[in-house]
Chain A
Amino acid sequence: MSEFAIRAEGLWKGFRRSDKARDIGLKDALAQAASAPFRAMSRLGSGQSPFRRSAREKLWALSDVCFEIAQGEVVGLIGRNGAGKSTLLKVLSRIVEPTAGRALLRGRVGSLLEVGTGFHPELTGRENVYLNGTILGMGRREIQRKFDEIVGFAEMEQFIDMPVKQYSSGMYMRLAFAVAAHVEPEILFVDEALAVGDSNFQRKCIARMAEVGREGRTVVFVSHSMAAITRLCPRAILLDRGRVVADGSVAEVTTAYLRSDLGAVAHRLWPDAATAPGDHVVRLRSVGVIRHDGAFDATADIRRPVVLEMTYDVLQPGYAPIPNFHLYNEEGICVFVTADTDPEWRRRPKPVGRYVSRVTIVGDFLSEGTLVVDAAIRTIDPVAVHAHKREAVAFQVVDGIDGDSIRGDYGGALPGVVRPRLLWRTKLQEELPATAAPR
């Protein structure tokens, strides 16, 4: 292994509950300071240490975080909201200080935690490029050298001397990202907040990130997008409540993330009928994602079919409950809704009992990435939703690079809500004489 670029040695970061300026005024602060000796005395009286703050006053955003990243590695940092991902990036970028422990960084650090940090609406695009570039650690001469390239990347040539307040949000993002994309540190921290904007733009951002990784720079990339992480980062680190809970190959870690209850599960059970989602007519008892070989699994090969299963109890006779699934992708777009159309139960009331409904989603249809599944049960007569469990289960569709999936030999980002296998036929219509076209 080559030399480390980043080494975290037991990083801790704690916040006090009242650590926000808006929560506390100067008057309160003075009152607190004035009463501190008395509170210390009262702690003394109750046998506590007069100096130590009680531990429960602290919220630990990071606890004992250790890892090492080699030079040139591209690492994805994943975890649900509040797991400490952003705090970790902020500590490593020296925006906030760790409470304890330390990190060693070798090389110039660039942090892209937000697009357009310091952009001022009154200034022109040109002025903002200089200001933002300087904030990101570029020198004036470096910006001058790259200026045309930045403006070209953003496709903003004719608007560059307009105040930014007159830009559309798309233009703003393009320019801001263009600056960020031209920062060339040895270590780059990127927050997913960077990859906002329309999908076209997101692709451009991600392509650029991939390029940065290939240039041999060390990149730490925080994202919720499993597709982006799996494509960009060979290695991932999973954080939960401020701790490193998994660190390894991206496939292992993303699967761990999806399997554990940190993120989403492939199989969810409601053993207690009273608290299961539903009403007096139906109750959901379990929802699951089943792989082609019959096991519950949160990871699915894009080429294979996936089965969604729902178990539910019908508690009242005379109803015809119809189970249905709603699938959402990472961008929150509803990919499709599918309802039970089994002819055996069409318009037929279901007797009281436990039912299992399964639906097979064909292979070579879903796009890669995370799919979140809502499970619902409704009746048409009367029109009512009896059970609706949002984000009941989730799974990850993985598109390998074996060459026989729909992406073929193309390794880049492939947009689209679905990725169906469609029939292509090509034939030679007519042979043309070879021309010596000037090149």
Chain B
Amino acid sequence: MNKEQLRGDVRVVESTKGLRFVDPRELWRWRELFVALMVRDISVRYKQTAIGVAWVVIQPLATVVIFSFLLGRIGNVPTAGLPYPLFAFAAMVPWQVFSRAMLVGNVSLAGNRALITKAYFPRILLPAAAVFTGVVDFAFTFAILLGMMWWFGFVPGWRILLTPVLLLLTLLTSLGVALWFSALNALYRDVQVVLPFLTQVWLFLTPVLYPASVIPERWRALYAMNPMVTVTESFRWAMLGGAAVPEPLMLVISAVTMLATLLSGVAYFRYIERQMADRI
């Protein structure tokens, strides 16, 4: 007897084999949990401390202020005529979403052990909800960016309409990375230790505090394999205009690595999912 022969509403519980991606129908059935988990993550974060909100803003601001003094003062960062704080902060907005997502996505499984071992639902909702709460952080930092633009006398052009698309790209890139790390961290807790270091290195490999144009031409293709390269550059370009337009080749390379990360992330996550409740 195989599944097809079984009538209507019978569910088969058995061990699964091979590669599997997400089951869209199953995800759709659990959409309300996705929302509920996001609401939980957001309200817990902002309830616990009044600093919750401030923290989201202070962290990128502090980084930008420090680098403004370090690099902006020295004055040889080619910002295409943009004031350095604005130049850096514009890219900091998507970067913040990404780095935050790595952090919370990473612990989204290990921190929900009770849920995973006591209830059934598609596990992928946990890192996904954790990553997508970045939208709220984004709203705060984005508001600060608009304030800074007003201060420096910048009027956003039509390209500001691209920001939702860029935000989505940021979130999907983050999700791909978070899926890998959450699954690894569920099995091997020491992944958590590597993460702060990795985030820092990743920041320096991303044109946040400097423009991508400082990277020598022959290294650009390799450089663009970091999907955050084009995300941050495009975001800066969309908000401030004056910055360099991202190169098409780099766009393509970034898009490919982003998709590869996301798909492999889903596949690896689903592979680990089978043993998650046993091993977490």
Instruction: List the interface of chain A (C-beta within 8 A of B).
Output: 15, 19-22, 24-27, 29, 90-107, 109, 111, 113-114, 117-118, 120, 122-123, 127, 130-131, 134-136, 139-140, 163
Interface of B is mostly: helix
A316: min CB distance to chain B, Å? 54
The residues of B that contact A15 with a CB separation of less than 8 Å are 278
Chain B, Cβ-Cβ closest to A20: B279
* Stretch of B4-12, B169-177, B228-236, B247-255 contacting A (4+ beta carbons < 8 Å): B4-12
Which of the four size classes fits the interface of chain B?
A: 35 or more
Can you report 26 residue pairs joining A to B where beta carbons are below 8 Å apart? A15-B278, A19-B278, A21-B189, A21-B280, A24-B188, A26-B188, A26-B190, A93-B119, A94-B13, A94-B120, A95-B117, A95-B277, A97-B14, A97-B16, A101-B14, A102-B12, A104-B11, A109-B11, A111-B119, A114-B118, A122-B43, A122-B44, A131-B36, A131-B39, A131-B40, A163-B47
**A19 to B117 CA separation, bound complex (whole angstroms):** 14
Contact A120:B40 (CB < 8 A) given known A21-B188, A103-B13, A114-B118: yes
Chain A, Cβ-Cβ closest to B189: A21
Chain B, Cβ-Cβ closest to A134: B36
The residues of B that contact A96 with a CB separation of less than 8 Å are 277-278
Asked if A106 and B10 make an inter-chain contact with CB atoms under 8 angstroms apart, the answer reads yes
Asked if B279 and A21 make an inter-chain contact with CB atoms under 8 angstroms apart, the answer reads yes
Interface of A is mostly: mixed
The residues of A that contact B186 with a CB separation of less than 8 Å are 21
Asked if B114 and A118 make an inter-chain contact with CB atoms under 8 angstroms apart, the answer reads yes
Taking each of A117, A135, A136, which has the highest tally of chain B beta carbons within 10 Å of its own beta carbon? A135
Instruction: List the interface of chain B (C-beta within 8 A of A).
Output: 6, 9-16, 32-33, 35-37, 39-40, 43-44, 47-48, 110, 112, 114-121, 184, 186-191, 274-275, 277-280
**A113 to B44 CA separation, bound complex (whole angstroms):** 25
Asked if B118 and A107 make an inter-chain contact with CB atoms under 8 angstroms apart, the answer reads no
A2: min CB distance to chain B, Å? 14
Q: Which of B9, B40, B110, B116 is in CB contact (< 8 Å) with A106?
A: B9
Asked if B43 and A127 make an inter-chain contact with CB atoms under 8 angstroms apart, the answer reads yes
The residues of A that contact B13 with a CB separation of less than 8 Å are 91-92, 94, 97-98, 102-105
Contact A100:B15 (CB < 8 A) given known A123-B44, A134-B36: yes
The residues of B that contact A92 with a CB separation of less than 8 Å are 13
The residues of B that contact A102 with a CB separation of less than 8 Å are 12-14
The residues of A that contact B279 with a CB separation of less than 8 Å are 19-21
Q: Which of A94, A99, A122, A135 is in CB contact (< 8 Å) with B47?
A: A122
Using A21-B189, A25-B190, A136-B119 as known contacts, list a sample of 18 further A-B pairs with CB atoms less than 8 Å apart, ordered by residue number in A. Answer: A15-B278, A20-B279, A21-B188, A21-B279, A21-B280, A25-B188, A26-B191, A93-B119, A96-B278, A97-B15, A97-B16, A97-B274, A107-B9, A109-B120, A111-B118, A117-B115, A131-B40, A134-B32
**A136 to B16 CA separation, bound complex (whole angstroms):** 23
A220: min CB distance to chain B, Å? 13
The residues of B that contact A114 with a CB separation of less than 8 Å are 114, 118
**A136 to B33 CA separation, bound complex (whole angstroms):** 9
A111: min CB distance to chain B, Å? 6
The residues of A that contact B119 with a CB separation of less than 8 Å are 93, 95, 111, 113, 117-118, 135-136
Taking each of A99, A104, A113, A123, which has the highest tally of chain B beta carbons within 10 Å of its own beta carbon? A104
**A22 to B190 CA separation, bound complex (whole angstroms):** 10
Chain A, Cβ-Cβ closest to B33: A134
Asked if B15 and A104 make an inter-chain contact with CB atoms under 8 angstroms apart, the answer reads no
B252: min CB distance to chain A, Å? 33
Asked if A29 and B188 make an inter-chain contact with CB atoms under 8 angstroms apart, the answer reads yes
The residues of B that contact A127 with a CB separation of less than 8 Å are 39-40, 43
